[in-house]
Amino acid sequence: MTKNELRAKAVNVLTSEKLENIVEMVLFSPEPGVFEAHANDGSVMFERPGCDDPLKPKIIETQGRDPLSDQDVSRFSTLALQREFRCPKRTENSYPYSYDHVAQIWDHEHAPDLIAIHTAAHSFLDEGGHLGEHGSLDILQARAPFILSGKGVKKAGVINSHVRLVDVAPSVAYILGASQTGGMLSDGNYSGSSYLKRQDGKVLSEWFQETERPDNVVIFLLDGCNPNILYDVVEQGGAPNISRLMANGTTFSYGAISSLPTVTLANHTTILTGCHPAHHGVLHNAWFDRKKMIQIVTESPGTWHLAMDYLNPETETIFECLNRYNRDITTAAINEPADKGATYSTFEEVRKGRMAEIIAQSGIDASVPKDTTNQYFESSQDYRWATTADHAGLAQAIGLIRRNWDNLKLDRPKFMSVNFSLTDSAFHDSGPDSDMGRAAVRDTDARIGKILRAFEIESEFDQTLFIVLADHGMEETNPNVTGSWIKALKDASIDVANDSFGFLYLNS
Ligand SMILES: [Zn+2]
């Protein structure tokens, strides 16, 4: 059987009535430049959208219902709607930018033969899943919060608008005064107006003041934070520091749309390079190396710090971009795996074998770290791990702002990205709309407050632009909707060489 015949057989199995509850759709590229999405109730064949309007599809052919047709960025953007449409059906869901986000995958040399997308409801606890999930194309898994605050930002309050995570790095380069050096855009063409060597996103210039530039930019990345829950905690008074940032800037109620796959390593790197996963190279949390015939795993405790080994050398990080513009700029990547070129990086310390020193200086001992909800520290191993990591990150961030970290003689970072893992851990463990999820937001807000305080002590608060975002969203699954597509493919005698979180590689 040829590869195409085998793929057609797999598509038939995956889009069958039997798997309709667990497979939202399957995606593949039958030939270069052509892409297809198939679901139980229809399919579409399309070309890559243009850079000028990535929301607008270029349809070649539709049969039945186009699974990607709903591009609404505003869907389920309140907690009430999220609750009303819990585990939305494919006919209720939206997939903004999906034509563009699907197309980019096949620009990677190790792109899969087929991508299987979970339904929102699909629970796969026995295959590494959780109560709260992300990774798919749908709006709740793709939507991260997005807040711009402080110096140089227009103060528009809460607005019905959205951005994409690919827009963040070019915007940081712009606002910190880097020069436009030109580079490759998402369609592969060259543009002289881009800030990074490769750039899929655009500068959010309409949200910045024309005459006022910040001295410093700080990103607070709340991993896996569902924005509806974040804003609910803010409204309840549980996140006074994020509330303060919102009051001094612009909050995008439709969020920041992450790239496909909506997972951690792929989208951390997207935020800090301005490129989609297949373009920056960190394709997924795991994928299959077709040449070496091995699975590459970027997201595991033993490999996080090595993720940048897979960065496409034709891409550059915002750290590298800022230093190309001014080699004296100090930058920092706190608990951030996408750290190439950062002056200070937690994971560089890990690579140097200095983690014991970092932990000692962070003041971590066996007791409950500060800013931690005791109850979940005791009951959840994931909560315990993440709050401890975030506590160590906080110590580094404050130390670098106060210029007393690790006896380093570094200037205060002009650009710093601080990653908090606690929201992701809690939202996975108990689902986003849970007491544990809300506790994670409150604990993280308290840590953000300490970083804001450090800027105040240094009289730098008013000179700083703060960005609050996440790498992807999070959605609650239904524990009663179970099943395995791997088993179904095996039962149909289809030999899957590797399944990396739905990225399927077939043996023909
Ligand atoms: Zn994540």
The pLDDT tens digits of the residues spanning 479-497 come to 999 999 999 999 999 999 9
Distance 492 CA to ligand 1 centre (A): 34
Measured in angstroms, how far is the CA atom of residue 386 from the centroid of ligand 1?
12
How many angstroms does the Cα of residue 278 sit away from the middle of ligand 1? 17
Give residue 224 CA to ligand 1 midpoint distance, Å.
Answer: 5
Residue 452 has pLDDT above 90, yes or no: yes
Strands (DSSP E) found in 161-230:
163-164, 183-184, 190-191, 216-222
pLDDT at 393 over 90: yes
| Ligand 1 center to 259 CA (angstroms) | 12
Q: Is 446 exposed, middle or buried (0-12, 13-18, 19+ CB in 10 A)?
A: middle
Listed by start position, the domains of the chain span 3-140+477-506, 142-273+312-476
223 CA to centre of ligand 1 in angstroms: 5
Residue 365 pLDDT greater than 80, yes or no: no
How far is ligand 1, taken at its centre, from the CA of residue 468, in Å?
A: 14
Q: Is the pLDDT of residue 466 over 90?
A: yes
Centre of ligand 1 from the C-alpha of residue 142, in Å: 11
Label residue 151 exposed, middle or buried (CB < 10 Å: 0-12, 13-18, 19+). Answer: buried
What is the amino acid identity at position 83? R
For 52-78, the pLDDT digits (tens) are 899 999 999 999 999 999 999 999 999
293 CB-contact burial (10 Å; exposed 0-12 / middle 13-18 / buried 19+)? exposed
Q: Does 366 score more than 80 pLDDT?
A: no
Which pLDDT score is estimated for 364? 80
Q: Where are the beta strands (DSSP E) in 327-451?
A: 331-334, 344-345, 415-420
287 contacts 109 by C-beta, under 8 angstroms? no
Mean pLDDT for 230-237 is: 98
Say if residue 183's pLDDT is above 80: yes
What is the mean predicted confidence (pLDDT) over 169-181?
96
CATH for 142-273+312-476, among 3.30.70, 3.60.15, 3.40.720, 1.10.10? 3.40.720
Residues 205-242: b if buried by 16+ CB within 10 A, e if exposed: eebbeeeebbebbbbbbbbbbbbbbbbbbbeeebbebb
Distance in Å, CA 262 to ligand 1 centroid: 8
Ligand 1 centre distance from Cα of residue 344 (Å): 22
If one compares 78 and 408, the residue with the highest pLDDT of the two is: 78
pLDDT of residue 369: 85
Measured CA to CA, the distance from residue 269 to residue 115 in angstroms comes to 21
> pLDDT, tens digit, for every residue of 83-103?
999 999 999 999 999 999 999
Could you tell me the CA-to-CA distances from 165 to 100, 141, 311, 350 in Å, in that order? 13, 13, 17, 27
Query: Which band of pLDDT confidence, cut at 50, 70 and 90, is reported for residue 187?
Result: confident
Model confidence at 407: pLDDT above 90 = no
- The label of the residue with tokens 């609750």 reads 83
pLDDT in the model for residue 126: 87
In single-letter form, the type of residue at position 440 comes to: A
Structure tokens at 345: 């990086």
Task: Please tell me the distance between residue 162's alpha carbon and the centre of ligand 1 in angstroms.
Answer: 19
pLDDT recorded at residue 224: 98
Torsion sign over Cα 273, 274, 276, 279: negative
Higher pLDDT, 210 or 166: 166
pLDDT of residue 367: 80
* Identity of residue 87: C
CA of 204 to the centre of ligand 1 (A): 23
Percent pLDDT > 70 in the chain is 100
Distance 3 CA to ligand 1 centre (A): 33
Mean pLDDT, the chain, rounded, equals 96
Given a cut of 90, is residue 81 above it in pLDDT? yes
Taking residues 445-474, report their average pLDDT.
98
pLDDT top residue among 6 and 1 = 6
Q: Residue 309 is encoded by which pair of tokens?
A: 């080994």
Strand partners, 374: none
Q: How far is the CA of 209 from the centre of ligand 1 (A)?
A: 31
- Ligand 1 centroid to 424 CA: how many Å? 6
SS3 of residue 499 by DSSP: strand
Section 104-120 average pLDDT: 97
Ligand 1 centroid to 222 CA: how many Å?
Answer: 8
Distance 403 CA to ligand 1 centre (A): 29
CA 248–ligand 1 middle distance (angstroms) = 26
Q: Do 473 and 224 contact (CB within 8 A), yes or no?
A: yes
Give me ligand 1 centre to Cα 400, in Å.
24
272 Cα–ligand 1 center, Å = 14
Cβ atoms 430, 132 nearer than 8 A? yes
Cα(421) to ligand 1 centroid in Å equals 8
Q: What is the pLDDT of residue 396?
A: 97
Residues 18-47: pLDDT tens digits? Answer: 999 999 999 999 999 999 999 999 999 999
CA-closest candidate to residue 118, choices 93, 106, 102, 135: 135
How remote is the CA of residue 477 from the centroid of ligand 1, in Å?
17
Yes or no: say if 177 and 217 are a contact pair by the CB < 8 Å rule: no
